[in-house]
Structure 1
Amino acid sequence: MECLFLVCALEKLHYYLDGSVFEVITDCNAMESLLKMKTPNRHMLRWQIAIQEYRGNMKIVHKAGNIHKNADGLSRWALPNTSDNPAYVPENAEPQIPI
């Protein structure tokens, strides 16, 4: 999954990353393996092709998950269920079913 997320991020941020040198810091060993894979399946081949455009400027750095806490904090951050939260749902609210 992280390989797919990298491809999506590269496509989304292409305008900013094109021509820039940058690092991808991940706790996923599969990213490096993906780029070295000799016979990938069709999905991974598409990912390899998408990533190849950035290979000269991109450095993939492995950082162990137990010391990579800032990424976990960002991906698991939850907003409190209060009225100033845009996704606020009152405790006694009935589910809305579109008709």
Structure 2
Amino acid sequence: MTQNEKEMISFLGFASYYRKHLEDFSIHARSLYRICAQQTVFEMTQERIPAYEKIRYALTNAPSLLMPDWKISFKLYIDAWGEDLGAALHQVQIVNDKPYEGPIFFI
């Protein structure tokens, strides 16, 4: 857990490098960016702690690929910018008795 503004700025800078790979990064990081603003007291509130933990968890836990189940529908996420293209094929499967949407393939 970051203890001061300088550590939070460093953490957010690191996390921002991976932001395109972290789902809902801007939503979770919004309150954390606010405490880095000028003339704001650094305080990890009940709103900010879960936001920090979600980003930290997403950075430290890589998704594992699922085996495709051909009887279940797939979800295709795509992104393109200029000459770059990325895609992820996902599927919702039951993992540990809970529905889990996970990746099957990345390009």
Q: Which has the higher strand share?
A: 2
- TM-score, normalising length: structure 1: 0.22
Q: Which has the higher helix share?
A: 1
- Larger Rg belongs to: 1
Higher relative contact order (CA 8 A, sep 6+): 1
